[in-house]
Amino acid sequence: MFDLYEAAEVMMRQNLHRWFPEESDSQIERRLLAWLRKDPNFDSIPFKPLVEVA
């Protein structure tokens, strides 16, 4: 079961890098964590550009 979880995480991380090549690793990680948590505060369209928080 955990193999499928890890595979899904790796695939989504790769997709995010492909979809947002200009974003930093930390921005990609934020997107991935929001996707994993299904964060209700994250936009309903999780693939919109992020605004970097200072």
What would the pLDDT profile of 18-50 be if each residue is shown by its tens digit? 999 999 999 999 989 888 887 555 555 555 666
Domain count, the chain: 1
Of 1, 20, 22, the C-alpha closest to 32 is 20
By residue range, what is the domain housing residue 47?
1-54
pTM, rounded to two decimals = 0.65
What confidence score (pLDDT) does residue 36 get? 85
Give the model's pLDDT for residue 37: 81
Q: Is the separation of the CB atoms in 18 and 11 below 8 Å?
A: no
> What integer pLDDT is reported at residue 4 of this predicted model?
87
Q: Which of 2, 53, 49 is nearest to 23 (CA)?
A: 49
Predicted local distance difference test score (pLDDT) of residue 49: 61
